[in-house]
């Protein structure tokens, strides 16, 4: 793993996790649009597309890879860029491991000393407002520096199951707190609030605590069409 002389490119091999990448970049005051959880591996997210905290500014994680070193099925080692082996370059941005073994990713770096981020949690009684805040944010994102990861979480209580609303809030600023785009969430009374200025290493270590070792997760996505809370529900 290395950073270029102009600090605009990170070169990283496939054996790393982002829990290795973020602390390494922190010494340079940099980050990348990689995984939102530290334990996630580099090749999995970069070859699958990759939703990331900087996505509203720079796109998917795969969009931020500008060069691949790839071993093809015939054993040939090639580079793929926008201008060289362009078809392979295109295919690797979401094509997983179907087109070769990637041995190096060159990613665009992002200046980042600290971000304002954390997890905001509300009790079951506020779930209607929590869901409305989620729908309204999703249908009308107005601030590209922001990113949210909302969840409704079951909490066993004796023979009953209660629910809480928890949202990961990310804002790409080391000066601004409680931006207006998050007001619908942060105006609700909380039962947990870890929002503060943090390095990407600190924040993805916090979010990474949700990862259970030696268990594989399956993520399934769908698309809902609508521009209002009622339409989205």
Domain presence at residue 219: no
Tell me how many domains the chain contains: 2
pLDDT value, residue 11:
98
Write down which residue in 111, 138, 153 finishes a domain. Answer: 111
Residues 91 and 133 placed together within one structural domain of the fold = no
Residue 64 has pLDDT above 80, yes or no: yes
More confident: 217 or 109: 109
Residue linked to tokens 């909380």 = 190
The mean pLDDT value for 198-226 works out to 83
pLDDT digits (tens, 9 = 90+) for 71-107: 999 999 999 999 999 999 999 999 988 999 999 999 9
pLDDT value, residue 103:
97
Please, are residues 33 and 172 in contact by the beta-carbon 8 Å criterion?
A: no
Rounded to whole angstroms, how far apart are CA atoms 116 and 179?
10
CATH code assigned at 200: 3.30.70
Domain presence at residue 216: no
Buried b (16+ CB within 10 A) or exposed e, 109-122: bbebebbbbbbbbb
Rounded to whole angstroms, how far apart are CA atoms 57 and 51?
12
pLDDT value, residue 168:
97
Domain presence at residue 221: no
Residues 154 and 133 placed together within one structural domain of the fold = yes
Please, are residues 201 and 27 in contact by the beta-carbon 8 Å criterion?
A: no
Residues 72 and 165 placed together within one structural domain of the fold = no
Q: What percent of the chain has pLDDT over 70?
A: 98
pLDDT digits (tens, 9 = 90+) for 128-177: 999 999 988 988 888 999 999 999 999 988 889 999 999 999 999 999 99
Rounded to whole angstroms, how far apart are CA atoms 138 and 124?
21
Residues 102 and 142 placed together within one structural domain of the fold = no
Residues 79 and 121 placed together within one structural domain of the fold = no
pLDDT band at 233; cut points 50, 70, 90: low
Residues 133 and 103 placed together within one structural domain of the fold = no
Write down which residue in 59, 93, 111 finishes a domain. Answer: 111
Rounded to whole angstroms, how far apart are CA atoms 10 and 8?
7
Residues 124 and 60 placed together within one structural domain of the fold = no
Q: Which domain holds residue 12?
A: 2-111
pLDDT value, residue 57:
95
Crossing angle for the helix pair 200-208 and 18-26, to the nearest 10 degrees: 160
Return the number of other C-beta atoms located less than 10 Å from residue 49's C-beta: 17
Rounded to whole angstroms, how far apart are CA atoms 57 and 39?
23
At 56, is the secondary structure helix, strand, or coil?
helix
Residues 15 and 90 placed together within one structural domain of the fold = yes
Mean pLDDT lowest for which of 6-10, 110-114, 170-174, 227-231?
227-231
pTM above 0.85, yes or no: yes
Rounded to whole angstroms, how far apart are CA atoms 168 and 117?
7
Residues 119 and 106 placed together within one structural domain of the fold = no
Residues 26 and 57 placed together within one structural domain of the fold = yes
Please, are residues 33 and 40 in contact by the beta-carbon 8 Å criterion?
A: no
Rounded to whole angstroms, how far apart are CA atoms 191 and 155?
13
Write down which residue in 111, 130, 165 finishes a domain. Answer: 111
CATH code assigned at 86: 3.30.465.10
pLDDT value, residue 66:
97
Domain presence at residue 218: no
Q: How far apart are the first and last CA of the chain?
A: 44
Average pLDDT along the chain = 93
pLDDT value, residue 212:
72
More confident: 219 or 81: 81
At 230, is the secondary structure helix, strand, or coil?
helix
The mean pLDDT value for 33-58 works out to 94
pLDDT band at 205; cut points 50, 70, 90: very high
The pair of three-digit structure tokens given for residue 106, joined into one six-digit string: 């060159």
């Amino acid at each position: 793993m290395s950073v270029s002389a102009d600090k605009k490119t990170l070169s990283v091999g496939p054996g790393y996790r982002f829990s290795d990448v973020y602390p390494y970049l922190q010494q340079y005051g940099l980050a990348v649009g990689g995984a939102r959880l530290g334990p996630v591996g580099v090749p999995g997210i970069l070859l699958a597309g990759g939703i990331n905290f900087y996505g509203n500014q720079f796109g998917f994680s795969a969009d931020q890879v500008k060069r691949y070193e790839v071993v093809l099925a015939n054993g040939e080692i090639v580079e793929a860029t926008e201008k060289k082996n362009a078809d392979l370059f295109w295919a690797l941005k979401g094509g997983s491991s179907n087109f070769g073994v990637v041995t190096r990713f060159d990613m665009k770096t992002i200046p980042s000393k600290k971000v304002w981020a954390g997890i905001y949690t509300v009790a079951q009684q506020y779930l209607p407002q929590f869901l409305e805040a989620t729908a309204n944010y999703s249908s009308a994102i107005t601030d590209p520096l922001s990113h949210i990861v909302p969840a409704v979480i079951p909490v066993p209580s004796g023979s009953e199951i209660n629910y809480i609303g928890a949202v990961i809030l990310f804002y790409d600023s080391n000066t601004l707190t409680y931006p207006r785009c998050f007001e619908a969430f942060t105006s609700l009374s909380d039962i947990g609030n870890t929002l503060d200025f943090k390095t990407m290493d600190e924040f993805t270590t916090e979010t990474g605590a949700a990862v259970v070792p030696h268990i594989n997760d399956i993520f399934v996505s769908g698309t809902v069409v609508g521009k209002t809370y009622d339409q989205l529900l």
